[in-house]
Amino acid sequence: MTTLAQNPINQYSRILSYGASRGNTIVPNDDLVEKIDSSDEWIRQRTGIATRHRADENQSVTDLAVEAAKDALHNASLTGADIDAVICSTITHPFATPSLAVLVADAIDSRCPAYDISAACAGFCYGIAQADALVKAGTARNALVIGVEKLSDFIDDTERTISFLLGDGAGAAVVSTSDSPGISPTVWGSDGSRFDTVGMTHSMLEIRNRDFVAHPVQEGEKIWPTLRQDGPSVFRWAVWEMAKVAKQALETAGITADDLGALITHQANERIIDQMVKTLKLPETVAVARDIVDAGNTSAASVPLAAHRLLQENPELSGKFALQIGFGAGLAFAAQVVVLP
Amino acid sequence: MASKEEILAGLAEIVNEETGVEQSDVQLDKSFTEDLDIDSISMMTIVVNAEEKFDVTIPDEEVKNLKTVGDAVDFIENAGK
């Protein structure tokens, strides 16, 4: 009986490097407050955000993704020829197809498999889960994961629930084979019953048909999907439900909060981070990523951008455990413990 | 089963811990937003802590109806029955 050949499996994987690219314009709160009848103080008090990076018309979502990808490759001392898969998480690539990932693969001179995933703010951690599985299954030696958003293309400047939080950027990671465990099993999931809690205002078909029951479209009015959220409801879920997921990720990894070197949450709102730290009863020795203060909320890009910065500012964290957790529209979430490169 | 007075006292403790508002200022006729200057995020934290303290469930959609401290006390009292 002939049997099918299988790839030799790899026992372990790890994150070999992170890379980053930030929007080329720094936007302070004062530039946004007039249109939402607010103030710098109000935004800082409710979100912790002082500025956000945004990309101007000369910096596309592809530019951000490629720059972060190349930075991660450089930091791993690899080239495109070494990469066996490219996974992009984005909700702001303006084509339903082809994917953004194929453009990134092309830009690094690779013809490897490349595809996008849609898991919004959980997307980078979803991507790490997939890359971890590809590497361990022997499907890839090195996989490139990119979380990238140009959210400023999908906001309404007059909207008060989420637009002022948002920034643009890309973060990337190379996931590779390893001699020792470097990525724990991912705790992940979704809750589609809460599809409307955070997301786009309208479907593409509604826009094509100019068919908004709640908001009749005026002749000549520009229409475009933008982001909205039920902030308090998302806050409650993001803190208390995600704290349970974070605890589960630690248990699954076989460690406790005392073993952590860093907590890298999705950078949605600094008050979510503060409350999660409190709820998890993290010891003061754990470094907590707070990139949000001057980068804003960059959805899929926020976890790798925060990780990249934390390592730049605290190189002694290399080799330590970090709990990274992403959560957002879907309501999708994913958490894993990684050994920082 | 907690009495109305016990619920008010417990809620005042929670509000004080989250916002620093004096417990004596947390009275039945006070509006959370207008009188006590509590924003929507702090309100959610208060709700979650109240759920734990009084062993009740306060759904997200119900939170929007809790305009005054009295509304919250009544809801918790009825939810606990």
Give B22's contacts (C-beta < 8 A, 6+ positions apart). B16
Contacts of A236 in chain B (CB under 8 A): 44, 47-48, 60
The helix (H) or strand (E) run that includes residue A17 is: strand A12-22
Per residue in A241-252, pLDDT (tens digit) is 999 999 999 999
Identify whether A323 is preceded by a cis peptide bond (ω within 30 of 0).
no
Give A173's contacts (C-beta < 8 A, 6+ positions apart). A15, A16, A17, A18, A19, A72, A124, A128, A131, A144, A145, A304, A307
Please report, for residues A21, A47, A261, A290, A311, the alpha-carbon distance to residue A274 in angstroms, rounded to integers and kept in the order given: 26, 11, 17, 10, 20
CA gap A297, A303 in Å, rounded: 10
SS (H, E, C) A214-260: CCCCCCCCCCCCCEEECHHHHHHHHHHHHHHHHHHHHHHHCCCHHHE
ipTM value for the complex: 0.85
Residues in chain A: 341
**Tens digits of pLDDT across chain A (341 residues):** 899 999 999 999 999 999 999 999 999 999 999 999 999 999 998 899 999 999 999 999 999 999 999 999 999 999 999 999 999 999 999 999 999 999 999 999 999 999 999 999 999 999 999 999 999 999 999 999 999 999 999 999 988 899 999 999 999 999 999 999 999 999 999 999 999 999 998 888 888 887 766 666 777 777 889 999 998 899 989 988 999 999 999 999 999 999 999 999 999 999 999 989 998 999 999 999 999 999 999 999 999 999 999 999 999 999 999 999 999 999 999 999 999 99
Q: Pick from A46, A230, A240: which is nearest to B41 by CB?
A: A46
Q: Is A193 exposed, middle or buried (0-12, 13-18, 19+ CB in 10 A)?
A: exposed
Per residue in A107-121, pLDDT (tens digit) is 999 999 999 999 999
Contacts of B43 in chain A (CB under 8 A): 232
Contact yes or no for A260/A129 (Cβ under 8 A): no
Q: Measured between alpha carbons, how far apart are the two ends of chain A, in Å?
A: 45
Give A249's contacts (C-beta < 8 A, 6+ positions apart). A184, A186, A187, A323, A325, A335, A336, A337
Per residue in A167-200, pLDDT (tens digit) is 999 999 999 999 999 999 999 999 999 999 999 9
B28: contact with A, CB 8 A cutoff: no
Identify whether A98 is preceded by a cis peptide bond (ω within 30 of 0).
yes
Angle between helices A302-313 and A123-136 (to 10 degrees): 80
The domains of chain B are located at 4-79
Q: What's the pLDDT score for residue B2?
A: 78
Mutate to test the interface with A, among B41, B46, B52, B58 (most CBs of A within 10 A): B41
Q: Do B41 and A240 touch (CB under 8 A)?
A: no
CA gap A294, A274 in Å, rounded: 16
The strands making up A85-89's β-sheet, listed across from edge to edge, are A12-22, A168-178, A142-150, A85-89, A114-117
B4-79 — its CATH code?
Answer: 1.10.1200.10
Q: Do A46 and B39 touch (CB under 8 A)?
A: yes
CA gap A58, A53 in Å, rounded: 14
Q: How far does CA A109 lie from the centroid of its chain?
A: 25
Q: What's the pLDDT score for residue A215?
A: 65
> How many Å lie between the alpha carbon of A235 and the closest alpha carbon of chain B?
7
B49: contact with A, CB 8 A cutoff: no
Nearest Cα to Cα of residue A189 among A325, A50, A319, A62: A325
Tokens of A310: 């934390």
Please list, residue by residue across A63-91, b when 16 or more beta carbons sit within 10 angstroms of its beta carbon and e when fewer do. bbbbbbbbbbbebbebebebbbbbbbbbb
Contacts of B48 in chain A (CB under 8 A): 236, 239-240
Beta bridge partners, A336, equal A324
Nearest Cα to Cα of residue A88 among A78, A77, A98: A98
The helix (H) or strand (E) run that includes residue A176 is: strand A168-178
A141: contact with B, CB 8 A cutoff: no
What chain A holds in terms of domains, given with CATH numbers, is 12-178 (3.40.47.10), 187-193+228-339 (3.40.47.10)
Q: Pick from A231, A240, A269: which is nearest to B48 by CB?
A: A240
Angle between helices B4-19 and B69-79 (to 10 degrees): 120
Q: Do A232 and B60 touch (CB under 8 A)?
A: yes
Nearest Cα to Cα of residue A7 among A119, A140, A110: A140
Per residue in B25-70, pLDDT (tens digit) is 999 999 999 999 998 889 999 999 999 999 999 998 899 899 999 9
Reported pTM: 0.93
Examine the residue annotation and report whether B39 is marked as an active-site residue of this protein: yes
| β strands within chain B, DSSP E | none
Nearest 10 degrees: CA dihedral of A169, A175, A180, A183?
50
